[in-house]
Amino acid sequence: MPNNLESWAQEVAQKNQFNIKKEIRRSFYYATGQIKSLIYEGVWQGQPAVLKLYNDPRLTNDPISQNVFNEENKSKILLAPQVFKYDVVSPQSGWLIMEKIAGERMLQSPLPAEKRANFLKLYLEYRQNFPAKPTRPLLLAESLSAVEFENFRMARWLELANNQEAEIRQKEGKPILEIKKFTPLFEKALGLIRKEIAKRKMIWCHGLFAPYKIMKKDGHYYLFDFGHTKFYPEGYELAFIIWADWLRSGDWQLPYKEWKKGVFEWLKVMEPVAKKLKIKNFKSLMRANLIERCLGTILADICATNAPREEKEKRIALLYKLLEEIL
């Protein structure tokens, strides 16, 4: 695979007779500047199609996971695009040509209150049709207990933030995170997460089930991006939905009293879903997983990005207040 993902895209398209029409999306690995995926719209064998190429620092099995879901999925409501052709080049890189969902409409975050219930129905539909057991040999980190798996993930986020904060300190003289405030909060939060997650099992799941990963066409919904399919601790997915729809996409310029409503409204509508999934002690589980999402947001989604300083500081202030309230 060429070091340049764009050059590789041209090579793959030419070899596989994929006629590129336009670029749809490119994603970066935090503030590193590394392009982790490129997606193109085009034509393959006379039909509209999409070419996706990925080179992610994280291990992924994207096209194979999507194929497995399509093979095992019995839902008539929630589908995934058909994969026409693919190649897994390495544990981190590969490409796939898949069905183009014409006339698509993406569910946009943050979802209004009236659409949350419908989205959670889709979540239940997904849980009922997604493989319950791993569909490939487990990775080393996935074989760990839920606590050690969380430690592994948190260490990666801390390293990302640590490196970016060092650069900011060198350039601006003042880092984003105040160590005296962040460190005790971080350590207290970790203690609570470990205590709760130690009681929980690991769940095989899509890993990115969120509004922005779903599109609608002709009464059907299509789930995209299977690159994060793996084991996660129980409760992670529900907290991830809140992260994707609100912690990541909510209006960070709102006063805290207004902003936090987006979090607690989600928790309220999720509780009946947890009962249907037979999740025990929902409140304590979500408390721990929300804390994990707050820490991940601060370290990876804020500190390890190139967002403006004002935005970073305001978003961190909101998350500090939420953490203090939950803790």
Check: CB of residue 304 under 8 Å from CB of residue 167. no
Neighbours of 193 (CB within 10 A): 23
Check: CB of residue 16 under 8 Å from CB of residue 9. no
pLDDT in tens, 184-223: 999 999 999 999 999 999 999 999 999 999 998 888 999 9
Question: Given this model, what pLDDT does residue 32 score?
Answer: 76
pLDDT in tens, 145-192: 999 999 999 999 999 999 999 999 999 999 999 999 999 999 999 999
In angstroms, the CA 139 to CA 141 distance is 6
Domains in the chain, CATH or no CATH each: 5-100 (3.30.200.20), 113-326 (3.90.1200)
Question: Given this model, what pLDDT does residue 255 score?
Answer: 98
| pLDDT interval class at 40 (50, 70, 90) | very high
Question: Given this model, what pLDDT does residue 138 score?
Answer: 93
277 or 33, which is more confident: 277
| CA distance to 56, 63, 85, 182, 275, per residue, from 51 (Å) | 16, 11, 9, 42, 39
In angstroms, the CA 92 to CA 34 distance is 13
Neighbours of 17 (CB within 10 A): 11
Question: With 90 as the cut, is the pLDDT of residue 2 above it?
Answer: no
Question: Given this model, what pLDDT does residue 267 score?
Answer: 97
Share of the chain above pLDDT 90, in %: 91
In angstroms, the CA 160 to CA 297 distance is 12
In angstroms, the CA 23 to CA 9 distance is 11
197 or 32, which is more confident: 197
Question: Given this model, what pLDDT does residue 106 score?
Answer: 66
Question: Given this model, what pLDDT does residue 103 score?
Answer: 62
Q: Tell me the pTM.
A: 0.93
| pLDDT interval class at 33 (50, 70, 90) | confident
57 or 8, which is more confident: 8
pLDDT in tens, 105-158: 667 899 998 899 999 999 999 999 999 999 999 999 999 999 999 999 999 999
Question: Given this model, what pLDDT does residue 105 score?
Answer: 66
pLDDT in tens, 253-278: 999 999 999 999 999 999 999 999 99
pLDDT in tens, 226-247: 999 999 999 999 999 999 999 9
Mean of per-residue pLDDT scores for the chain: 94
- What's the whole-number mean pLDDT along residues 293-315? 95
Check: CB of residue 225 under 8 Å from CB of residue 208. yes
